[in-house]
Structure 1
Amino acid sequence: MNPTTPLPTTPPTGAALALHDVRLGHPDGTALPGTVTLRIPPGELLAVVGPSGCGKSTLLRTLAGLLPPLDGQVTLDDEPITGPAADRALVFQHDALLPWRTVSANVRLPLAIRRVPRAERRRSAADWLDRVGLAEYAHKLPHQLSGGQRQRVQLARALAGRPRAVLMDEPFGALDAQTRAEMQDLLVDIVRGTGATVVFVTHDVDEAVLLGDRVALLGSGRVLDVPHPRERAARQAPGTVELRRRILESL
């Protein structure tokens, strides 16, 4: 009989993530230029931008433990990251839902892998589908949903296991403008209550300035504070306009 692992009963504390003189790349020896030194405090939403090929997706996979650094050290709470773990969740641009599983079953899948008790899996999936506005779609298959709805399912699946860090790789890049804005607002509402640290890669400067507490300019080594994080009405505020200009110049 397999042991079961109950989910934590309180929201997780966000993870402190850090890269110490890390050279990003792939095990075949293909290295990206330069090194990365970056500290991400618990509970921060860090937006990451940079030109194509600078290593944004590689950075996320390194933080997830899917790619080892070619040099330097990557840590979580000052302990080396040596591989994937349930305390970190990845969210991709393409939802990667299993087409033969219902919406609810897709959300429950990572909990089943962790051997969370079945009743608790069902409760958690139902709760998260309600939080992302998809409770009535629990028994639908992914092909019966719109692109925005599938991304909501992916977000619910990522957060259902109460990760301490959520690593997001241009998750809203394929959505139309209205749906993208809705997903941005949903992300802000949900993450605010989880305590999780978020690293959000995007090619959209406005999205980075809206969502981030800070914006990391990968490739230049600069990290800039955001004057009005998560305030859509502050788009034309002088500090926001200046930050957008500085980011665009760096790109």
Structure 2
Amino acid sequence: MSRTPFPSPAVPLPESGGGAALALEGALLGHSGGPAPVGPLDLRVAPGEVLAVVGPSGCGKTTLLRTLAGLLPPLGGRVLCDGEPVRGPGGDRALVFQHDALLPWRTVRGNVELPLAVRGVDRAGRRRAADGWLERMGLAGHAARWPHGLSGGQRQRVQLARALAGRPRAVLMDEPFGALDAHTRTGMQDLLVEILRGTGATVVFVTHDVDEAVHLGDRIALLPSGGVLDVPRPRDRAAAGDPATRALRRRVLDSL
């Protein structure tokens, strides 16, 4: 079986904050006894990089995230975080889903406090941190509400606040805005960009939306082919009409 290459960035990305370095070395991804595994894959994600991942349904995008999160062991090869083997889930990596997975029996504040409680942060510290993140998400007035009373966009903001409250060094996002309408989706993309400026976290962002990948990613990884493309002007709305951006978009579409 030939190995699928994921080259490192042509120009090293700046290390920011405490972003984690993620790597797959000859990794076979899948479930034991399940369909044919994906790979072997070689992938390196630089600290602080936003790597967008695109590909058709069933090509292994979610499996890739679950493997990086430590929820699914590789069938072969190695998965590394900062050079150390990933042997299971850890607080340094947070997973964000398309469906928010908020706990319905906890308030908005209670959901955001959850990773802090797991880490043993005292009650006052949890509340202070949760309220700070809710304010950054524009949800300061919703702390005492229950998840079922929120809109889809509000629920996703709560999920993002919960993921970031634990100060992860890598955020693994599985089509988190896929169920939102176009206007809300654009707002969530802009909010994510604003939040990432202050965290320095490494992000692996799975999406089926080519325009979203071209906007958010520093690079775009194409599954299952294994190609990786540099984004000329990441996270710049004004770049959408540039010839280089249009050419990149066509290349990504042609790969699907």
Q: Return the TM-score normalized by structure 1.
A: 0.94
Deviation of the 1:192 alpha carbon:
1.3
1:41 and 2:46 matched:
yes
Over residues 68-108 of structure 1, what are the superposed CA-to-partner deviations in whole Å (9 max), with x where a residue is unaligned?
00011000111100000000000000000011211000000
Report the equivalent of 1:167.
Answer: 172
Task: Mark the runs of 5 or more structure 2 residues left unpaired by the alignment.
Answer: 1-15
Code of the aligned partner of 1:200? F
Query: Which of the numbers 223, 232, 238 marks the counterpart of 2:237?
Result: 232
1:143 and 2:148 matched:
yes
1:28 and 2:33 matched:
yes
Report the equivalent of 1:54.
Answer: 59
Report the equivalent of 1:180.
Answer: 185
RMSD: 1.1
Code of the aligned partner of 2:251? R
SS across alignment from 1:35: strand
Measure the CA separation in 1 of the matches of 2:32 and 2:141.
44
SS across alignment from 1:21: strand
Deviation of the 1:43 alpha carbon:
0.1
Deviation of the 1:12 alpha carbon:
5.0
Report the equivalent of 2:3.
Answer: none
Tell which deviates more after alignment, 25-34 or 240-249.
25-34
Count of paired positions: 241
Asked if 1 retains the 8 angstrom alpha-carbon contact of 2:17 and 2:48, the reply is no
Measure the CA separation in 2 of the matches of 1:27 and 1:115.
35
Report the equivalent of 2:11.
Answer: none
Report the equivalent of 1:92.
Answer: 97
Measure the CA separation in 2 of the matches of 1:35 and 1:206.
28
Report the equivalent of 1:79.
Answer: 84
SS across alignment from 1:38: strand
Measure the CA separation in 1 of the matches of 2:29 and 2:201.
24
Code of the aligned partner of 1:161? G
Measure the CA separation in 1 of the matches of 2:32 and 2:157.
33
Deviation of the 1:35 alpha carbon:
1.6
Cα gap change, 1:68 to 1:101, in 2 (>3 Å): same
1:122 and 2:131 matched:
no
Report the equivalent of 2:207.
Answer: 202
SS across alignment from 2:203: strand
